[in-house]
Amino acid sequence: EVQLLESGGGLVQPGGSLRLSCAASGYTLSAYGVSWVRQAPGKGLEWVSGISGSGSNTYYADSVRGRFTISRDNYKNTLWLQMHSLSAEDTAVYYCAKDGESGTSPYYFDFWGQGTLVTVSS
């Protein structure tokens, strides 16, 4: 059974940093890309960042490029999203989501984690 479990969310001050983790299991991690998608309170879904199965290709939304870094370690079955220079606009539930097909992204997302809440506030 495919499982994605996010962690690392919490309260952080404006300008601060946070690292989110996504523990993946139940499938061959190196074969599938994974993305981070966020949802601000009461708002819609926003794609944030993606990484290929091998980790050699990374992708970022304009809103986070230069501030966020996505990475993965397939041996540890874990992906990360390092976030810097956080502002109130980054407050959201952050989901990790697995590509629905193996190969070169982009693909739809067939499995999602339960999400982790990041709150940026003083």
Partner 1 sequence: DIQLTQSPSTLSASVGDRVTITCRASQSVNTWLAWYQQKPGKAPKLLIYKASTLEGGVPSRFSGSGSGTEFSLTISSLQPDDFATYYCQQYNSYWTFGQGTKVEIK
Say if CB 95 and CB 39 are below 8 A apart: yes
When asked if residue 62 is in the footprint of partner 1 (CB under 8 A), the reply is yes
Stretch that binds partner 1, among 13-21, 42-50, 75-83, 84-92 (CB under 8 A): 42-50
Comparing CB distances to partner 1, the nearer of 23 and 61 is 61
Q: Which two tokens stand for residue 4?
A: 């994605």
Say if CB 14 and CB 121 are below 8 A apart: yes
Q: How far apart are CA 2 and CA 11, in angstroms?
A: 29
The two beta strands, 10-12 and 116-120, are: parallel
When asked if residue 45 is in the footprint of partner 1 (CB under 8 A), the reply is yes
Among 35, 53, 94, 116, binds partner 1 (CB under 8 A): 35
56 to each of 47, 113, 119, how far by Cα in Å?
A: 19, 23, 30
Among 100, 103, 104, 121, binds partner 1 (CB under 8 A): 100
When asked if residue 108 is in the footprint of partner 1 (CB under 8 A), the reply is yes
Residues found in the chain: 122
Output the smallest distance, CB 111 to partner 1, in A: 8
User: Which residue ranges make up the site for partner 1 (CB under 8 A)?
Assistant: 35, 37, 44-47, 50, 59, 61-62, 95, 97, 100, 105-110, 112-115
